[in-house]
Amino acid sequence: MRLQDQKRIVIKIGSATLVDEKTGRLRAAWLQTLIDDIAMLKAQGKEVLIVSSGAIALGRRRTHLPAGKLKLEESQAAAAIGQIALGEAYADALHKVDLTAGQILLTFEDTEERRRYLNARATLTKLLELDAVPIINENDTVATSEIKFGDNDRLAARVATMISADCLILLSDIDGLYTAPPATNPDAEHIPIIEHITPAIEAMAGSAGSSLAKGGMTTKIAAAKIAVNAGANMIIANGGDYNPLKALMEGGKCSWFTAVANPITQRKRWINGHLEPQGILTLDDGAVRALLSGKSLLPAGVKALDGNFAKGDAVIIRRLDGQEIARGLIGYDRTEADQIIGHKSSDIPALLGYDGRPELIHRDDMVLRDHEPVTPI
């Protein structure tokens, strides 16, 4: 895998990389070397988008808010102050290499609701057409904690799938995925390429993170699942040194998560990337086989339901051993679904008292996810 071969690239910059943990100041000299690298990539014909954290960290220093966890309105105020500084820093650094910044602040609903998702995508696409560099962050000033990404790893993955990026680079304070936390375990081994995000890979993630970073490894793996299933490769690399992208171009140490072979349509990307599915369906083996061969999900093969979903909500589809195999938009509310699972579709009119659609989830509303094959015993 080579960065050279990726055309449309989303780069996520974590707070711990951009802001000095001790002083709370922006690492301006470092930022300029990152932007120099971006100018180099753009000169090679690549398209670059930046998802940057740091608003709260920067705003916090300027307001002298107390150390420790901020209250919601404190972090919103800190973000309001810090986001201006953040945008200014990027605009200035890009200006020095004759590039233009365009700031976009997204909320959770902007990626979860289809209409707003399409709207945001149109703006991003236009910015790229205009040769600007989009600088994206969560709109922390209005987002409340219940409906928030909270971490920019998953936001960046959503952005990457929204604009069909080839590659997502997460620049953080660790140079990839290790078999165990390297800071505490001397036997930890670095994994350069991850082709399938298996439960074993997920278990390696733990939840390490610095005091500034929100995500840790868990949200990076969650981001990888969104990205690779939508056809984007993902890199985790240490961004702390000067010229971090140049280092990657020259084969620097990192972990690659490789995209699945059959990228899916735009609408399916949106379904695949849902961050808060409302329910879980567990299927019997026959239904799993039918799904994998491209069929719709019929109520007959569903063994169990979980969650209080409504018609049209995104749900997770699992096989009996608990492994997720697909996601989809369900065609029935939970109360109706309870009545029809385990039954033939031809019984639906009698069970519900009206002529409902034969499938619980139509194949056009479903995305198969990369998963481990069942090991024969």
| Contacts to ligand GLU by CB under 6 A | 14-15, 53-57, 79, 137-138, 140, 151-152, 213-215
- Complex with ligand GLU: residue 206 or 356, whichever CB lies closer: 206
- Complex with ligand GLU: residue 139 or 161, whichever CB lies closer: 139
Dmax over CA atoms of the chain, in Å, equals 70
CB of 56 to ligand GLU, least distance (A): 3
**Which string of DSSP letters, residue by residue, matches 151-189?**
SHHHHHHHHHHHTT-SEEEEEESS-SEESS-TTT-TT--
**Which string of DSSP letters, residue by residue, matches 51-92?**
EE--HHHHHHHHHTPPSSPPPHHHHHHHHHHHHHHHHHHHHH
CB of 362 to ligand GLU, least distance (A): 35
CB of 29 to ligand GLU, least distance (A): 20
- Complex with ligand GLU: residue 79 or 330, whichever CB lies closer: 79
Cβ atoms of 217 and 205 within 8 Å: the answer is yes
- Complex with ligand GLU: residue 79 or 99, whichever CB lies closer: 79
By three-state DSSP, how is residue 238 classified? strand
- AA identity, residue 277: P
CB of 227 to ligand GLU, least distance (A): 16
CA distances from residue 190 to 51, 180, 201, 225, 246 in whole angstroms, order as listed: 25, 9, 12, 19, 21
What's CA 302's distance to the chain center, in Å? 28
Residue 278, burial from CB neighbour count under 10 angstroms (0-12, 13-18, 19+) = middle
Distance CA 226, CA 288 (A): 21
CB of 151 to ligand GLU, least distance (A): 4
- Complex with ligand GLU: residue 158 or 214, whichever CB lies closer: 214
**Which string of DSSP letters, residue by residue, matches 303-337?**
EEEES---TT-EEEEE-TTS-EEEEEE-SS-HHHH
Distance CA 36, CA 38 (A): 5
CB of 141 to ligand GLU, least distance (A): 10
Angle, helices 216-229 vs 152-162, to 10°: value is: 10
CB of 21 to ligand GLU, least distance (A): 13
- Complex with ligand GLU: residue 172 or 282, whichever CB lies closer: 172
CB of 374 to ligand GLU, least distance (A): 36
Phi and psi dihedrals of 20, rounded to 5? Answer: -70, 120
- Complex with ligand GLU: residue 138 or 166, whichever CB lies closer: 138
- Complex with ligand GLU: residue 79 or 133, whichever CB lies closer: 79
- Complex with ligand GLU: residue 6 or 83, whichever CB lies closer: 83
CB of 214 to ligand GLU, least distance (A): 4
Tokens standing for 59?
């705003």
Tokens standing for 122?
């149109």
